[in-house]
Amino acid sequence: MDTMPDTSQPSAELKALDRLVGTWKVTGGAEGTVRYEWMPGGFFLFQHVELTHDGRRITGLEVIGNLRPFGEPVSADVVSRFYDSAGDTLDYVYELTGDKLTIWGGAKGSPAYYEGTFDADGTTVTGAWVYPGGGGYASSMTRI
């Protein structure tokens, strides 16, 4: 017997990202603040971004959730699209397993990713962005 996923509730993988809700100070290769909040209904998590990276100011909005295309099954991965004030759009896949947060640039398993770990009280996430060819930078978030 086939079991259809329950689409009346947000996925457990998405709900796990509730640990991000709030405002965070970002330090490392990018500096500034990010703020996460749920859209009513809990199917999408918004990230409001105010950062400076490599001397460039980045202001944007990221919408995080499972894809639910009309007439198609819900995506297994928690995906996002980031929109910035320069007109760029960037796609990511989020995964939170235990205290380890991984954000892939593009598709899951991409060679461009962030990997960070929540501290015991959930007020700091410490990690780094890794880029193909050895690039990347350390990045930490502290809840404010």
**Which domain range does residue 109 map to?**
12-143
Looking at the domain assignment, is residue 4 inside a domain?
Answer: no
Q: Is the pLDDT of residue 1 over 80?
A: no
Q: What CATH number is associated with residue 105?
A: 2.40.128.20
Looking at the domain assignment, is residue 36 inside a domain?
Answer: yes
Write the pLDDT tens digit of every residue in 82-126.
999 999 999 999 999 999 999 999 999 999 999 999 999 999 999
Q: Which of 55, 96, 128 is nearest to 141 (CA)?
A: 128
Write the pLDDT tens digit of every residue in 54-67.
999 999 999 999 99
Structure tokens at 90: 């960037």
Q: Which of 101, 99, 98 is nearest to 34 (CA)?
A: 101
Looking at the domain assignment, is residue 7 inside a domain?
Answer: no
Looking at the domain assignment, is residue 1 inside a domain?
Answer: no
If one counts the domains in the chain, the total is 1
Looking at the domain assignment, is residue 50 inside a domain?
Answer: yes
